[in-house]
Amino acid sequence: MNDPARFIRANTALHEPPLIPEVRLHLASEIVPIWQMTEEELEKSGLPPPFWAFAWAGGQALARYILDNSEIVRGARVLDFGSGSGLIAIAAMKAGAASVLAADIDAFAAAAIALNAETNNVAVVATTEDLVGVENRGWDVILVGDMCYEGPLAARIEAWLRKLAGEGTTVLIGDPGRTYLPKSGLEKLVSYAVKTTRELEDTDVRNTSVWRVLPG
């Protein structure tokens, strides 16, 4: 990969996600063209979608909740797991978190997080390490936006998050009712109608909730 930041700047535009007007992100308007361009840039095919180029419904709901209930993250060390564009990480810093680690295994996401954090004048550290299963590294709060879209991934994440919740970490999930959202062991905190696009979600609005993960 030559210069992911250059690629992101060239192929996205700055937009506010509908539910989070206080944050501006480098976003794409359609998924197929930027997916194709990513594959051309990396000279690889069969890549996962460029998730980082969109503010997903689950991430928007969780970012809104954190901004409106800033006491949850104020002064806290936060992990934004599966960060994508970095939306939740940026919202957590704006809400007064002491620090945020934004984790995403996609190297383009790490570059997007850095660009978007800079655009919003907040400091966020990004990592591409796969943290699933690791011991708590000092996180008080773990935020997970829209990660229940794949069965095996969701199962690995659930077991890990439940263990961390059992140790006293606050773990919150934002999710628009994806297939692999756990069916039990969650407490619903709030729901929002999140504007989306038919191209991404096949509907104009997704009812999206924020859940607290209950200890296992």
Ligand X SMILES: C[S@@+](CC[C@H](N)C(=O)[O-])C[C@H]1O[C@@H](n2cnc3c(N)ncnc32)[C@H](O)[C@@H]1O
Residues of the shown chain interacting with ligand X in the complex, contacts defined by CB under 6 A: 51-52, 55-56, 58-59, 82-85, 87-88, 103-106, 109, 130, 132, 145-147, 149, 153
Q: How far apart are CA 28 and CA 20, in angstroms?
A: 16
CB 181 within 8 A of CB 147: no
**Min separation Cβ 89 and ligand X, Å:** 9
**Min separation Cβ 19 and ligand X, Å:** 11
Nearer Cβ to ligand X (96/150): 150
**Min separation Cβ 113 and ligand X, Å:** 10
**DSSP string of 96-147, one letter each residue:** T-SEEEEE-S-HHHHHHHHHHHHHTT---EEE----TTPPP-S-SEEEEES-
**DSSP string of 140-196, one letter each residue:** SEEEEES--SSHHHHHHHHHHHHHHHHTT-EEEEEES--TTS-SSSEEEEEEEEEE-
**Min separation Cβ 47 and ligand X, Å:** 10
Q: How far apart are CA 210 and CA 73, in angstroms?
A: 15
Nearer Cβ to ligand X (165/173): 173
Nearer Cβ to ligand X (38/85): 85
Q: How far apart are CA 20 and CA 111, in angstroms?
A: 21
**Min separation Cβ 156 and ligand X, Å:** 8
Tokens of 81: 């797991």
Q: How far apart are CA 28 and CA 9, in angstroms?
A: 10
Nearer Cβ to ligand X (76/87): 87
**Min separation Cβ 63 and ligand X, Å:** 8
* Residue number closest to ligand X, CB atom: 59
